[in-house]
Structures are given as C-alpha cells and as structure tokens.
C-alpha cells in the first residue's frame, strides 16, 4: 500500500447525505486529521456536529488495535492475525462440514463501502457457500425499496439530485426528522419554507416539524401507525377535488382505477377519525401539493418502519403518481436513505435475495451473468437466504446458523427485541465481529477483528441521491488494523474458495462494475479513475453513457415504461389494548448528536456529553396523570423488556405517545421493547408502534439512577476496558 497523502477530499463517515469534507493530516493536533467542510451540492460546505467531530474516533483510546480472541474464562486475548484467521477458518470449515454451508451466516451493514458490500456478498456465496447473508439495511430501507421497485421498477432513494428540492414550493416530508438526522439537508428545504410549503408529518413536533412554524408550512401530527390512512385520505381529496393529473395517469401509469376505488372509501371525515388529523388540514395539504408549482413527497423511517411499511410507502408513491409528480423534472417522490452507504449497500449483493447490480438471485440470467464475472458455474451460487429478522431468529437454533460473521453492524442494540437477539448470539458456536471498537455486539464475540476507519481507507459510497462518491484515504491505519477486503481475501484463501478476492478497492470496484452491467443499478461505466475527476455520477451509469441524474424522465423501469399504481389497504388493528393507566405507544428515532446504535458517537466526548443518556419524551398532561415530573426516572416496559430513562416532559409529542432514541445500550436500549414483527413484503421490522406501559420510578433518586445507568454501561463517555 502506498503512503497516505497529507490531505484528502472525502465524505463524512456517517449518514447518507455524505457531506463533502476535506481531511488534513495534523500529526501534532488533537486528532490525527483536521476536518473541514467542503463545497459540494449536498452540503455546501456545511457539516453537523457529528461530521465536525468525526476525526475523534481515529485515535480513540478504546480502539481495537489487534485481533482479540475469547479466552475460556470469558476475557479476550490479543492474537496475531494469522492465529485469529486460522482459528476462524478452521471453525467455519468444521461447521460447514458438520452442519452444512447454511450453518454459517453473514450479517452486513449499510455503512460498508460499495467494494466491501459487494465483496461480502461474493465471499458469502462463494467462499462460505451460504445463502445466509443479510444486513442491517433490512431495518431501514427495505420497505421503501420494495415499494419503489414494485411501483417504478427501480429503487434509487432520491431519483433526482438533492438540489432539485431547492426550487420546490411544496415539500411533504413524512416521518423524517432531517433537522436532527442530516442537518445540512435542511438548507434544501429553504425554498419550500419561504413559500410556506413545508409540510411535516410526525407524531412529534420534532426539530424538523418546528421548521414549519411562523408560516413556513404545516405540521400534521397523526397518531402513530396511521400514516397509510392519512395518505389514502390525501389521495381521496386529490381525486375528489379534481386535482388528479389525469393526462399523466393515462399516459404514464397503470392501475389508477383500483387505487381510485381504494381511496374512495377514505373520505376526509373518516380519515380524521382514524388519524387525529383535522379535515381542514388534510384539504389544505392536498390542495397545496396539487398547485403545480413544484411539489415533492419524501418519506423516511417514521412511516416505513412498520409492519405495513411497504404499503405505506406505496401509498405515498400512489399519491405522487396521482398528482403527476414523478419523473417530471420539477416535482417528484423520494425516500431519504439513512445509513452512509444505505443506497449502495442495498444494490450489490448483501441482501439475501440479491446479486450485484440490484439483480434477483432467483433470476437464471442474473445468476449466469454474475457467475461469468466471478468465473464460476452458476450452480455454485446458493439460492435466496432469509431476511435479517428471520436470520437473527434462527441463530443457534437447530438447523439454523451456528457461526456468524458481523460486519459494520451492532445488532444487539439495533435489531428489534434485542434480548432475543442476544440469546441467539450467545448460543452460537462462533461469533466473529469486525469493528473499530468493542461495540456491544463485539463484546459477545469469540473473535473481534479490528478494521479500518473511513479516513484510513478508500472506496466508494453511493449517497441518498444515487450518486457514487469517492472515499479517499488521508491516513495510514494503525499497524494491527486491517481492511475487510484483506480479511475476506485471507479467509477465502484459507477456505480454498473459488474465484478471486482482490484487496485493492479500485480492482474490486471494476469487478463490481462488470457484475452490475445490465442490472438495474448499473455501474459499468464507472471506475475510481473516472470518479476521481469529480464527475457527478448518478446510476444507472452504463458503459458508454454519462449517468442518470434524473431517473424516470422518459419512462419507468418496466418494459412498457409505465409506473404501477398498486392499491393498498390498511389493516384494522382491532386488538390494540386500551390506553389506560400508563399504556402508551412508543416510537423511536434519532438524536442530532448520535448515529445508529451509538457505537461510534457514544465514544465521541463532545457528543456523549451533550446527550449522555436516553431520555423518554412524554407529554405534560400524560406525565401529570402518571405522576411523572421532568427529570424523574421513568420505566417503559412491556412483555419483552424494561427500559429506564429520564423523563423529558415536553409538549412536543402527542399525549398518547412516548419517544425513545435508539442509540443507547444496556437498560436504556429502546429495542428491548420493540417486537420482531415484520412487513410481509419487505421483512422490515415494526419499530415505530410498540405498546408499552410507562410508570414513574420515584423510589430511585436521580443521583443513584445516574450511577446505576453508568454502571450498566449506558451513561457518560464509554470507558474503554482493558481486555479483561
């Protein structure tokens, strides 16, 4: 590997906005590199608190710097790479021989570069021969992806460049708190706000909802889990008031009749009764969206992470299609991808049913093409595996996965019903975790493999707008740390795997490009060299073309070029318990200061000091009824578990709802409470509508409670352990 340059133009390690930043090596500075914002259409030089502090993790005291192997007494020993990899290879080979290839599983992540995500899919199918691979994107993007695929024939989060939003006068943002999750994005809402047209739909008056104040727009505050009905109601009004774009529907779509009928039964008063959103607001929103001055509908996890998430995203797409917004250049529909490479991560083979280029693993021609690139017989590529929640559920079970490799994911914090997940991980014969830190999942591992951070590696990421971006190396990794590409190559060699596993990112990318050729997400015209010229590369980018900033302008990705309107129907939830006593609905989400499971951000002093522990948001009237005072410790519990968190009494939430951030571990992990129920189409778990009982824990004085939280590993800066 060549020496790292002294500076690099790269992108932020965190979310899918992938803000451009410049790193300058500063050997004498407080962090190994200095971070500066860099001019780019998405972030225009700005960064949020997470981006500014991202370099703190490079030299973090808690970094794992050598492979760790579990001792029989439970502690970790440092090991050489050869010893660790030999051990893993032996155990994997043994498991495969005794229990079959599917006894080995792989759990990937939406933060991995395209190169790693691609290689991981190939490694699983060829080196391990397993069908058991899926990834944490199943928890965030799968419903929107499924909805996009069935409506448009392709799933690119934003099928247009982010700066197209600048010219819009109306933006309907459903279940997305961008002001906290990707703050620089809100600059693109300025035009809509100035026109009074920012419409935010959220049970909380989130920081994003507050951007609608002072005449900047409308905040809709429906009861959790009623978004689908809300969208059917808006569609109903659009059709009834003659606001539908009939010409568009006739020339560019199919299926309107069924959607019209399905919306007919959701007249505004019925929708009000089901959602809590007044008729007048519904009408105002529908009319505003239809005013023809540039309207966008954007969805986020708030409406997607449900057992009916695919249908809800479909309803949002239907509304956009009925209004004639999609593929017009000045209006549109999009879903806001969350994880850094949440887009690329779902295109190149980490999903259980997928091969590179967004190909279906069940499609014989897709298998033949990819097998050709890999130089293997298509028959050796396993068939489809099982999606994440199902994969986690079969850990350690008879006939299930016995050995699991985890890459870029912290499942004991981020998966639903984490107590069950923990039990599954503990029942494994072998758990291998690749991470920078001893994350909660790594702490359960038999082997921890330390891997490179963003500033120490290169590759590509695909942003929320489907633009392929270069991640550039500024720094050499610490001596004992390796790239996952190297780890896969070494394991593949030990396992006598067919095909080749390059450790050079540009070579892996070239292979990815060939494997994706002709697929939906076609990268075949791209290379690191081309990207290094600064080309704005939006997929599909087939060889010989110049990419596609705006998808669907001249048709959708079906043979007849028409979008599919698919009628969806709300499921009536008759079994919901009455909300008496402390029974409330729990919703979860992110804070400005933290990212995902918090494995990284809880290790940044500035971020953890600003938000040291989980607080539960509760409405003052509800809090008063339950005898909870601001600052009290409250328990939030159900049959699956109990979370204890400090109460934040605030009018910024519905009176029947409580909110917990999901970044915390131990007794503050929100996913102790969530249920492993999944959407039937996408297998996305239900994260945003959990029945809980909230009670005051008066007996616990605040000081003691804080100490208890710290003891449980949730409070204050994570003190990195020696390897006990």
Partner 1 sequence: MSRPTRIVLIGYGPVGARFVEGLVAPVRAGSIELTVVGAETHTAYNRVLLADYAVGRADRARLDLTDTAAAVEAGVRIRLGESAVAIDRDRQSVRLDSCDTLPYDRLVFATGARANLPSLVGLEAARRDRRSRPGAAAALDRGPEALPHGVVALRDLADADTVLEAVTAGRRIVVLGAGVLGMEIALAASERGASVVAVFHGDIPMGRQLDSGGGRALRRAAHDAGVTMAPHSRAESLQFRHREDGEEHFDALVCADGKLIEGDLLLLSCGVGARTELAEQSGLRATSGILVDEQLRSWDDPDIFAIGDCAHVASRSTALPDGRVPGGPAGLIGPGWRQADWLASRLAAEVSPAEVATLSPGDRPLVVMLKAEGIDVVAGGNVSADPWDESSALETTLWADPARGTYAKMVTRDGVLEGFVAVGLPRAGAELTLLFERGGELPEDRSTLLRLDASDAGAAATADSHAPDATVCWCNGVSVQHILTAAEEGATTVEEVGACTRAGTGCGGCKGRIAELLAQSAAPVATR
Question: Should residue 40 be labelled a site residue for partner 1 when binding is judged by CB under 8 A?
Answer: no
Question: Should residue 288 be labelled a site residue for partner 1 when binding is judged by CB under 8 A?
Answer: no
Name the segment binding partner 1 (CB under 8 A); options: 374-382, 490-498, 503-511, 652-660. Answer: 652-660
Q: Site for partner 1 (CB under 8 A): which residue of 264, 362, 365, 609?
A: 264
Closest to partner 1 by CB, 181 or 667: 181
- Minimum distance between the CB of residue 575 and partner 1, rounded to whole angstroms? 7
d(Cα 455, Cα 370) in Å, to the nearest integer? 31
Q: Site for partner 1 (CB under 8 A): which residue of 4, 15, 23, 47?
A: 47
Query: Nearest CA to 204 among 588, 635, 670?
Result: 588
Name the segment binding partner 1 (CB under 8 A); options: 64-72, 129-137, 264-272, 510-518. Answer: 264-272
List binders of partner 1 among 554-573 (CB under 8 A): 572
Environment class of 39 (CB within 10 Å of its CB; exposed 0-12, middle 13-18, buried 19+): exposed
Question: Should residue 379 be labelled a site residue for partner 1 when binding is judged by CB under 8 A?
Answer: no
Question: Should residue 581 be labelled a site residue for partner 1 when binding is judged by CB under 8 A?
Answer: yes
d(Cα 222, Cα 320) in Å, to the nearest integer? 20
Q: Site for partner 1 (CB under 8 A): which residue of 554, 575, 719, 722?
A: 575
Question: Should residue 261 be labelled a site residue for partner 1 when binding is judged by CB under 8 A?
Answer: yes
Closest to partner 1 by CB, 220 or 673: 220
Number of Cβ within 10 Å of residue 16's Cβ equals: 30
Q: Site for partner 1 (CB under 8 A): which residue of 40, 52, 139, 358?
A: 52
- Minimum distance between the CB of residue 614 and partner 1, rounded to whole angstroms? 17
Q: Site for partner 1 (CB under 8 A): which residue of 269, 363, 426, 630?
A: 269
d(Cα 268, Cα 253) in Å, to the nearest integer? 25
Question: Phi and psi of 285, rounded to 5°?
Answer: -65, -45
Q: What SS3 state is found at 693?
A: strand
Closest to partner 1 by CB, 21 or 645: 21
Q: Site for partner 1 (CB under 8 A): which residue of 71, 98, 546, 625?
A: 625
Q: What angle do CA 328, 308, 670 make, to 5 degrees?
A: 110
Phi-psi region of 80 (alpha: psi -120 to 50; beta: other; left: phi over 0): beta
Q: What SS3 state is found at 147?
A: helix
Residues 9, 22: contact at Cβ < 8 Å? yes
Distances (CA, A) of 322 to 331, 398, 565: 13, 49, 9
Environment class of 560 (CB within 10 Å of its CB; exposed 0-12, middle 13-18, buried 19+): exposed
Q: Site for partner 1 (CB under 8 A): which residue of 574, 639, 703, 724?
A: 574
Alpha-carbon Rg for the chain, nearest whole angstrom, is 24
Closest to partner 1 by CB, 276 or 480: 276
Closest to partner 1 by CB, 242 or 544: 242
Q: Site for partner 1 (CB under 8 A): which residue of 116, 122, 252, 619?
A: 619
Question: Should residue 522 be labelled a site residue for partner 1 when binding is judged by CB under 8 A?
Answer: no
Site string for partner 1, 221-260 (x = CB under 8 A): --x---------------xx----------------xx-x
Question: Phi and psi of 694, rounded to 5°?
Answer: -110, 135
Question: Should residue 275 be labelled a site residue for partner 1 when binding is judged by CB under 8 A?
Answer: yes
Question: Should residue 48 be labelled a site residue for partner 1 when binding is judged by CB under 8 A?
Answer: yes
Question: Should residue 672 be labelled a site residue for partner 1 when binding is judged by CB under 8 A?
Answer: no
Site string for partner 1, 586-615 (x = CB under 8 A): ------xx----------------x-----
Query: Nearest CA to 687 among 671, 666, 667?
Result: 671
Q: Site for partner 1 (CB under 8 A): which residue of 179, 389, 403, 477?
A: 179
Report the relative pairing of strands 403-407 and 430-435 from DSSP bridges.
parallel
Residues 434, 486: contact at Cβ < 8 Å? no
Question: Should residue 698 be labelled a site residue for partner 1 when binding is judged by CB under 8 A?
Answer: no
d(Cα 609, Cα 593) in Å, to the nearest integer? 10
Question: Phi and psi of 217, rounded to 5°?
Answer: 165, -150
**Residue 76 C-alpha from the chain's centroid:** 31
Is the alpha carbon torsion for 17, 21, 23, 28 positive or negative? negative
Say how many Å lie between the first and final Cα of the chain, rounded: 34
Question: Should residue 39 be labelled a site residue for partner 1 when binding is judged by CB under 8 A?
Answer: no
Q: Site for partner 1 (CB under 8 A): which residue of 109, 153, 183, 382?
A: 183
- Minimum distance between the CB of residue 56 and partner 1, rounded to whole angstroms? 14
| Interface with partner 1 (CB under 8 A) | 37, 44-49, 52, 179-180, 183-187, 190, 205, 207, 210, 213, 219, 223, 239-240, 257-258, 260-261, 264-265, 267-270, 272-281, 572, 574-576, 578-581, 592-593, 610, 619-622, 624-625, 650-652, 655-656
């Amino acid at each position: 590997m060549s020496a790292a340059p002294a500076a690099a133009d790269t992108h932020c390690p965190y979310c899918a906005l992938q803000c451009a930043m410049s790193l300058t090596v500063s050997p004498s500075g407080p962090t190994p590199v200095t971070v500066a914002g860099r001019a780019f259409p998405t972030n225009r030089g700005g960064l949020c608190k997470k981006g500014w502090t991202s370099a703190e993790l490079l030299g973090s005291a808690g970094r794992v710097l050598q492979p760790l192997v579990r001792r029989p007494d439970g502690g970790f020993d440092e090991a050489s790479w050869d010893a660790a990899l030999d051990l893993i290879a032996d155990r994997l080979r043994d498991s495969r021989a005794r229990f079959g290839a599917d006894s080995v599983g792989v759990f990937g992540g939406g933060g991995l570069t395209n190169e790693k995500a691609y290689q991981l899919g190939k490694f699983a199918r060829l080196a391990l021969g397993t069908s058991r691979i899926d990834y944490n994107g199943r928890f965030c993007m799968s419903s929107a992806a499924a909805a996009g695929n069935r409506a448009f024939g392709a799933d690119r989060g934003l099928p247009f460049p982010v700066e197209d939003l600048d010219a819009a006068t109306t933006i309907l943002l459903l279940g997305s708190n961008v002001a906290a999750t990707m703050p620089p994005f809100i600059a693109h809402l300025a035009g809509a706000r100035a026109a009074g047209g920012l419409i935010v739909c959220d049970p909380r008056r989130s920081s994003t909802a507050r951007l609608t104040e002072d005449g900047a727009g409308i905040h809709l505050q429906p009861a959790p889990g009623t978004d689908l009905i809300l969208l059917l109601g808006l569609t109903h009004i659009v059709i009834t008031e003659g606001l539908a774009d009939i010409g568009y529907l006739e020339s560019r779509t199919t299926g309107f009749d069924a959607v019209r009928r399905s919306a007919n039964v959701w007249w505004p008063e019925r929708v009000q009764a089901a959602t809590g959103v007044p008729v007048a607001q519904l009408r105002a929103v529908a009319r505003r969206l239809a005013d023809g001055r540039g309207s966008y509908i954007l969805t986020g996890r708030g409406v997607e992470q449900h057992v009916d998430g695919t249908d809800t995203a479909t309803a949002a797409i239907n509304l956009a299609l009925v209004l004639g917004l999609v593929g017009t250049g000045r209006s549109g529909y999009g879903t806001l991808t969350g994880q850094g490479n949440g887009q690329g991560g779902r295109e190149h083979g980490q999903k259980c049913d997928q091969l590179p280029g967004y190909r279906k693993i069940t499609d014989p021609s897709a298998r033949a093409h990819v097998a050709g690139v890999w130089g293997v017989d298509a028959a050796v590529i396993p068939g489809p595996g099982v999606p994440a929640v199902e994969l986690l559920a079969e850990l350690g079970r008879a006939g299930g996965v016995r050995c699991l490799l985890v890459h870029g994911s912290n499942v004991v914090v981020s998966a639903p019903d984490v107590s069950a997940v923990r039990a599954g991980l503990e029942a494994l014969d072998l758990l291998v975790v690749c991470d920078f830190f001893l994350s909660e999942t790594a702490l359960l591992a038999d082997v921890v493999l330390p891997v490179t951070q963003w500033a120490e590696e290169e590759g590509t990421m695909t942003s929320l707008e489907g633009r392929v971006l270069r991640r550039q190396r500024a720094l050499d990794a610490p001596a004992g740390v390796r790239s996952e590409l190297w780890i896969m190559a070494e394991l593949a060699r030990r396992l006598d795997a067919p095909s080749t596993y390059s450790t050079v990112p540009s070579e892996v990318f070239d292979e990815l490009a060939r494997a994706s050729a002709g697929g939906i997400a076609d990268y075949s015209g791209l290379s690191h060299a081309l990207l290094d010229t600064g080309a704005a590369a939006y997929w599909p980018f087939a060889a010989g073309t110049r990419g596609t900033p705006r998808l669907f302008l001249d048709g959708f990705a079906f043979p007849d070029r028409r979008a599919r309107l698919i009628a969806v129907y709300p499921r009536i939830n008759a079994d919901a318990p009455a909300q008496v006593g402390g029974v409330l609905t729990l919703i979860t989400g992110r804070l400005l200061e933290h990212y995902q499971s918090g494995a990284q951000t809880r290790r940044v002093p500035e971020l953890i000091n600003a938000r040291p522990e989980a607080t539960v948001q509760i409405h003052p009237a509800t809090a008063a009824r339950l005898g909870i005072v601001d600052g009290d410790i409250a328990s939030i519990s159900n049959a699956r578990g109990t979370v204890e968190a400090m109460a934040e009494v605030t009018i910024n939430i519905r009176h029947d709802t409580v909110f917990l951030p999901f970044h915390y571990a131990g007794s503050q992990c929100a996913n102790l409470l969530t249920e492993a129920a999944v959407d039937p189409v996408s297998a996305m778990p239900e994260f945003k509508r959990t029945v809980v009982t909230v009670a005051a824990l008066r007996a616990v004085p605040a000081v003691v409670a804080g100490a208890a939280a710290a003891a449980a590993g949730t409070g204050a800066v994570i003190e990195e352990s020696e390897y006990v």
